[in-house]
Amino acid sequence: MLRGLYPEDDFKMTTKYGIKVYSSNNPELTAYIEKIISQLKIWLTTNTVSKFVIVISSAETLEVVERWHFDIQVNGENGLPMAENVPPAEAEIIKRRTVLQIQTVLRQISSSVSYLPSLEGDEYTFKVLVYADRDVEVPALWADSGPSLIAGGGEHVRLKSISTLVHNVDSFVAYKMNDSF
């Protein structure tokens, strides 16, 4: 099982931003993720999303055991330069720097298994929470949800921030310590 959510054979190793990562080859999971990503792209381009959270919880008890939290700030309104105002030579440097930042975060996420408690002894599921402006149009099958917090707050590990001309992303993972520790 990959992080206790899906069998390993539901994934294949691919390369994203020069880093080896697992990608889904499960058609239902891939369709679910693609719907979320396509909606996120719309909200990101309209600056109407501020947070994206992946919540992992027990399928039986719904107890939250992990929260992957990404705070998103769209640049431009906060005085930072917009991408179209940057000379092409500088844009290439910024693009390379952005890829390096993304690689760093992907490495951190991949290596997280070294400090996160293993998800054993239960079946787990995940859901995605998107914090968008109140007046945005929400897809028909999406619903409001509570924050799905970890009881007692859990432990937190901050991941590297990503800062581009378009977005700043601050992220962390919160997790529940196993009782056996």
The domain segmentation of the chain, as residue ranges, is 8-175
Nearest to 56, CA basis, from 4, 113, 115: 4
28: CB partners within 8 A, 6+ apart: none
Length of the chain as a residue count: 181
What pLDDT is stored for residue 94 in this prediction? 79
Q: Find all residues with CB under 8 Å of 49, minimum gap 6, and list them.
A: 40, 43, 72, 130, 131, 132, 133, 136
The model's pLDDT over 100-140, given as tens digits with 9 standing for 90+, comes to: 888 888 888 888 878 898 887 778 999 999 999 889 889 88
Amino acid at site 175? Y
pLDDT (average), residues 144-154: 92
**pTM (2 d.p.):** 0.84
Name 22's Cβ contacts closer than 8 Å, sequence gap at least 6.
2, 11, 12, 13, 14
How many other C-beta atoms are found inside a 10 Å radius of the C-beta of residue 161? 13
Give the pLDDT confidence of 165-177 residue by residue, as tens digits: 778 899 999 999 8
* CATH number at 8-175: 3.30.900.10
User: Which is it for the CA torsion 25, 176, 103, 130, positive or negative?
Assistant: positive
